[in-house]
Amino acid sequence: MTKAEGILHALGGSDNLKSLEPCITRLRVVVNDPEKVNESGLRESGAFGVVLQGQVVQVVVGPEADDLGEAISELTNE
């Protein structure tokens, strides 16, 4: 499983994503159901930190945020 696949899975899968935006060192994600987000799974997939605020999840991934955002977007469009 790639890092992007692991993060997508830990976010609850592509059906749980409303929007995803890379922002410098983090992925800013709006989810449909915050209960489906697996914080420990995100960390296991390589996230340095996770901030949950309602339906907004910020996944701190470092300087690869743009590349991961693109890879996750490609996975959700399959």
Domain residue ranges in the chain: 3-77
CATH topology of domain 3-77: Gyrase A; domain 2 (3.30.1360)
Contact by Cβ (8 Å): 37, 54? no
Active site residue 17: no
Which backbone phi and psi does 28 adopt, to 5 degrees? -100, 115
The overall pTM is greater than 0.85: yes
Catalytic one of 2, 13, 15, 23:
23
- Measuring CA to CA, how many Å separate 65 from each of 4, 33, 35? 10, 22, 23
pLDDT tens-digit series, residues 32-74: 999 999 999 999 999 999 999 999 999 999 999 999 999 999 9
**Which of 75, 77, 64, 78 lies closest to 10, judged by CA?**
75
pLDDT exceeds cutoff 90 at 78: no
